[in-house]
Structure 1
Amino acid sequence: MSPAVALLFAAALLVLAGAIGVVLRLRDGHRRAGGHLRFDPSDAGLSQLGSGTTLVQFSTEMCTRCPQVRRMLRSYVAESNGLDHIEVDLTHRPDLSARYKVLQTPTTFVVDGSGAVRARFHGVPHRHALNEALAAV
């Protein structure tokens, strides 16, 4: 392979990687449907969920954005009645990442009183999207 072709190939790979990164960054923090998932409170060491809405945050010890999301979700809980926040550390429970299809941390679920996942957010949730998800529950 000539150096010009190799350089062109490397440049194409860089452009492709950059485009994928931009697409993933644009999708980060947006609301996604919860699908047919149900959150089991025993996975967080609880016997049951509260009667209202629960924000379930999946994090790891090495997650750099998890403290920011934790503070944001706790501020929502402080401002709202009937809203709870649970944090599940996947470092010690990696089996839960497969069960709940968590591919990155932080991931946040909006869970109703019955345990149904009504919305999910990958990365840091956008405030307006989180407000809409909470209003929908």
Structure 2
Amino acid sequence: MRCDGRSKVPTEDGAVRLSEAELGGALGERATLVQFSTAFCQPCRATRRVLAEVAGMVDGVAHVEVDAEERLELVRRLEILRTPTVLVLDAGGRVVRRAAGMPRKADVIAALGRAV
């Protein structure tokens, strides 16, 4: 997963942070995999399986799926341009990685290394 640097919602330290309220789901103790999806997105289904599997393998990692069509304000704010888009958050909700398209399991595990 490579960071594309598009997010424009920085905090004082320059990082983008997302809260449980914004995501509609609980953050993981160590990291959170956030997936932006749409109902008819075929790669979103496969991405859901990959992220759920990784979250189940790594203690303290949560997977939160956000329906992009229902959360248009958040999608616009984060400049999500396609689905699936995956964000990797650290324990504090700071975005440390971002990728569009269906990720490979190995890439997700590697990206988690930066978050935990």
TM tier, smaller:
0.7 to 0.9
Count of residues in Structure 1 that have an aligned counterpart in Structure 2 = 107
In the alignment, structure 1 segments of 5+ residues that lack a partner are 1-29
Contact 2:33/2:86 (CA < 8 Å) preserved in 1? yes
The match for 1:32 is 3
User: Superposition RMSD on alpha carbons, in Å?
Assistant: 1.7
Contact 1:108/1:120, CA 8 A, preserved across alignment:
yes
Alpha-carbon deviations, 1:27-56, whole Å to 9, x = none?
A: xxx42156632122212224x523210000
1:44 to 16, 23, 30: 23
For the 8 Å contact 1:39–1:116, the answer to whether it is kept is yes
Judging by fraction of residues, say which structure has more helix. Answer: 1
Q: Residue 33 of structure 1 contacts residue 118 of structure 1 at CA under 8 Å; is this kept in 2?
A: no
Residue of structure 2 aligned with 1:119, choices 97, 104, 107: 97
- Tell me which residue corresponds to 1:22: none
Gap runs ≥5 in structure 2: 8-14
Q: Which residue of 2 aligns with 1:65?
A: 43
Specify the alignment match of 2:54 in structure 1.
76
TM-score (norm 2): 0.82
The structure whose Rg is larger is 1
Distance 1:38 1:110 in 2: 11
Decide whether the 8 Å contact of 1:31 with 1:130 is kept in 2.
no
Identity of aligned residues (%): 36
TM-score (normalised: structure 1): 0.71
